[in-house]
Every structure is written in structure tokens, then in C-alpha cells.
Amino acid sequence: MADVETQIRETIEGTDVVLFMKGTKDMPQCGFSSRVAGVLNFMGVEFTDINVLANDDIRQGIKDFSDWPTIPQLYVKGEFVGGCDIVTEMTLSGELDKLFEDKGVAYSKEAADKIRAANA
């Protein structure tokens, strides 16, 4: 399992935005993963998707690594952000914009504003 932890750590530390999800950003395999990938895609965020369904060791390993029981899991610049509910709340409150700005991650502020307007 140490190899899996090393692989996860290297992915998180070596990639600006990583989403551990069920499926891929182009073909999510669950609603929660679809929602987070959809937000990131709509906002124009470049991110790496890790399909946990393709590897059971990664699927369990990421839960152990973050001490978070569910997938998807979003990491930005090495920092665990959260799952679907947290990312949704952060998007609607503007906190996700601030996080991206603070971490130097490119995103579309206009798209983020559209999400908020549609959910007001």
C-alpha cells in the first residue's frame, strides 16, 4: 500500500488541480463526480482526472490518504479541498474563486458568476 500512497502523493504534489473521481472528466460514472467535473470544466480549469474505478488500490488509497470516506475528492496545489458538497458550496459562495486566485490557478470568473446566477 506504500506504493499507492507514494503514487497518490506524487500525483497531488506534481499537479496543480487533481480530481479523484468515478469515471473521467469526459465520461463521469456517478452524479457527484459529474457535478464536480462539470463545475471545473465549465469554469475552464485545467485539471487531471484520476478514475478510481480503474484501480481498486487507488480507490481505497485516496480515502485512506485524505481520511475522507467519499469520492470525488478535489486537490488544488497539493491541498485537499473536499468532495461534491463542499465544492458545490464553495462555488456558490465564491470561495472556490478565491482559492483558485490565491493558488494561482486559471479559471473563468465569468463562468463562475454564471453558475452563481443560475443557482440564485
Q: Mean pLDDT per 10-residue run, the chain (120 residues)?
A: 88 97 96 97 97 96 96 97 97 97 97 95
Residue 28: give the domain boundaries: 2-118
Q: Cite the annotated binding site for [2Fe-2S] cluster by residue number.
A: 30
Q: Is the peptide bond before 69 cis (omega within 30 degrees of 0)?
A: no
Structurally, how many domains does the chain consist of? 1
* The pLDDT value given to residue 1: 56
Q: What is the pLDDT of residue 85?
A: 96
pLDDT of residue 31: 96
Query: How far apart are alpha carbons 91 and 94 in whole angstroms?
Result: 5
CA distance 96 to 5: 26
Looking at residue 47, which CATH number applies to its domain? 3.40.30.10
SS3 of residue 101 by DSSP: helix
Annotated binding site: 30
For the chain, give percent helix, strand, coil, nearest 5.
55, 15, 30
70, three cell numbers: 467519499
